[in-house]
Amino acid sequence: MKIQKIISFTLFLIFLLLVVWSQNWILFFLLITIALFFWHPNLQGILVQFFLRKHSKKTAVQEWILAVLFGLLAVNFTNNYLFSIYTIRSSSMQPSYQSGTTFLMNKILIGPAKSQNTIKSYHRIPGIRSIKQGDVIVFNFPEGDTVFINHPNENYHFQKRITKQNKTENHILNSQKDYKKVNQRPRFIKRVIALPGDTLTIINGVNYINKKASLFNENLLYKLALEKNTPFKIKKDILDKSYVSYVEKGTQYIESPITLIDNKKFSPYLTLIESPKNKPDPFVFPFNTSFRWNESNWGPMVIPQKGQKVKITLENISLYQRIIEVYEENKLEFKKDHIYINGQERTHYTFRMNYYWVGGDNKPHSFDSRYWGFLPENHIIGVIQPLPFHGSQNK
By C-alpha distance, which of 186, 104, 233, 173 is closest to 379? 186
How far is residue 379's CA from residue 296's CA, in Å, rounded to a whole number? Answer: 26
3-state secondary structure 80-120: HHHEEEEECCCCCCCCCCCCCEEEEEECCCCCCEECCCCCC
The structural domains of the chain, with segments of one domain joined by +, span 2-78, 84-199+298-390, 217-272
How many residues are listed for the chain in this entry?
395
Higher pLDDT: 393 or 202? It is 202
Question: pLDDT tens digits, residue range 294-306?
Answer: 999 999 999 999 9
Query: What is the 3-state composition of the chain as percent helix, strand, coil, each rounded to the nearest 5?
Result: 35, 25, 35
pTM of the model: 0.88
By C-alpha distance, which of 381, 395, 377, 368 is closest to 104? 381
By C-alpha distance, which of 192, 153, 191 is closest to 172? 153
Question: pLDDT tens digits, residue range 77-135?
Answer: 888 888 998 888 889 999 999 888 888 999 999 999 999 999 999 999 999 999 999 99
DSSP-assigned letter for residue 162:
H
Q: What is the four-CA torsion angle of 48, 52, 57, 63, rounded to 10 degrees? A: 40
Beta bridge partners of 199: 302
How far is residue 323's CA from residue 309's CA, in Å, rounded to a whole number? Answer: 13
By C-alpha distance, which of 27, 26, 34, 23 is closest to 113? 23
DSSP-assigned letter for residue 236:
H
How far is residue 298's CA from residue 285's CA, in Å, rounded to a whole number? Answer: 9
Question: pLDDT tens digits, residue range 361-374?
Answer: 999 999 999 999 99
- Rg for the chain (alpha carbons), in Å? 27
pLDDT at residue 216 greater than cutoff 60: yes
CATH code of the domain occupying 84-199+298-390: 2.10.109.10
Average pLDDT over the chain reads 88
How far is residue 248's CA from residue 81's CA, in Å, rounded to a whole number? Answer: 48
pLDDT classification of 393: cutoffs 50, 70, 90: very low
pLDDT at residue 257 greater than cutoff 50: yes
Task: Please give the biggest Cα pair distance in the chain.
Answer: 91
Question: pLDDT tens digits, residue range 18-30?
Answer: 777 777 767 766 7
Sign of CA dihedral 266, 271, 274, 276: positive
What's at 369, amino acid-wise?
A: S
How far is residue 6's CA from residue 4's CA, in Å, rounded to a whole number? Answer: 5
By C-alpha distance, which of 332, 323, 369, 301 is closest to 137? 369
pLDDT classification of 32: cutoffs 50, 70, 90: low
By C-alpha distance, which of 265, 274, 222, 217 is closest to 244? 222
How far is residue 200's CA from residue 305's CA, in Å, rounded to a whole number? Answer: 13
pLDDT at residue 221 greater than cutoff 90: yes
What's at 347, amino acid-wise?
A: T
* pLDDT value of position 261: 83
